[in-house]
Structure 1
């Protein structure tokens, strides 16, 4: 592997199925050693893209480079060589029920012609790494979902790949198991410097592990950047919609009472991050404008070491001039703020 080369470079790749553009002019770079999240709704093109990266789909146009070498037009024999450097983790595990855990993990090495002792030693080493060496001689039917995924991860690492493609690797798991699998992937990335491309539709997964995120919609990249920036300042409706699931929203009981003009309290949504989010900004607001604000929903989260928050505030609006001054102050000291309406209580 060439340390100065990105793991993957995609240049204007396109893939159509009949009249549908599954991938529509995607260009991106996957840097060595990073955890990159690729997120989008169902039908956004995520699975097609990952299949293009390991040769299970052939692109119609564009270019894919792996470790600086063009792989877009390889023969099947050429792809077999490349796939040794690309591990893949599946949503539904894809374990062979007729083989025990040890043999499932060792299977890629067997297909490569590795001696039996080498296969056994490598498989046991990987089972230790993923924390289920005690299940080496169990069969998949006796494993929990999290244990099956750990086997899948160990198997993906068997050929010592430089990159792991994770295709919805946690979407079949409960939240607690998901956290443990994400912690394992983060450990593998940190200890082995393996690049991880994480395909998901869950923003919570991206928040917990990825360093950078790319948002895909209808086969196109609509937004990309460091995770903390995307969470703090989402620019597109697609990203904002995906974030709604894990970010605070205005309580329905208050939203139902909002009036665009009339009311004694103004309801303001505030997006804040970085140094401002770490300050006692409501105290600052009161000190500098004489106006108090009540938090009615929301909070401050920490993403990649940076404070990121979304807050819904209620501010006295009986004096509209003072209310406007408070809103203007909030706008100057936040990433974004908006008056949602007014209520009478």
Structure 2
């Protein structure tokens, strides 16, 4: 049974709905210009560590601090993965949940957070933030923990720190940092709010550039997608970034997977200045992996004759791409 001190408030429902901050799916579009502009791959302020993938049943660590002081008593299947626990919590909170379902959802969120689920940590952080100033430190710790692996949490913290939403956390420096990081990872909504903050600070030209970038990244103010689609987009962006980092380290499988995301328009590349920037960069990674003996990459290259023709038109070669994307010569 739950600790008698724990009482879930009605405001939690509204916050869980708020957690589904909606935005338009990104459609990265490379800017076109007569002179190619190459930007370096995004380097975050701190290395990003991919969330642990649960391959086997995990027993919940009962010594992990419980932000909601939830005691044992409600049955939870500890063999579930963190994603499965979070999904069950989300389903319990749909519609107009009963008090019992609300309480069960919080237990599941705690379990998922203990296993490292970034979205569960984000939602729990928002719930604690709603409880008032005395819970703010714990709420921020949960949100910042989530932001280590979640673009959605980066964006939300940037908005809160920038006083663009209640409650105001009033830290402009952190607001710019979180929104810049999410923008660099391709999140159009973060680019939009970063542009607003820069304009507010009197940096109008930079603000306009960021708001224009938001449009290129697929964000349209007032548009919306489902909460589930937004979460999937965030996960896809983080996965593409992780693959890019592994590709840069020389892993041929990551090169192949990252190239596939570039071709599908699901990854933010580092090459700009051409209509076919994503295709050129994908070709580079496939070629590099093929030279290392990766058969799927070599096979995919046989389907890219049109990209090779466009590269020839622009006098672009594999060697030039290698220098532009890695800073080294082949």
- Is TM more than 0.5 here? no
Question: Which has the bigger relative contact order, CA under 8 A and spacing at least 6?
Answer: 2
TM-score by length of 1: 0.26
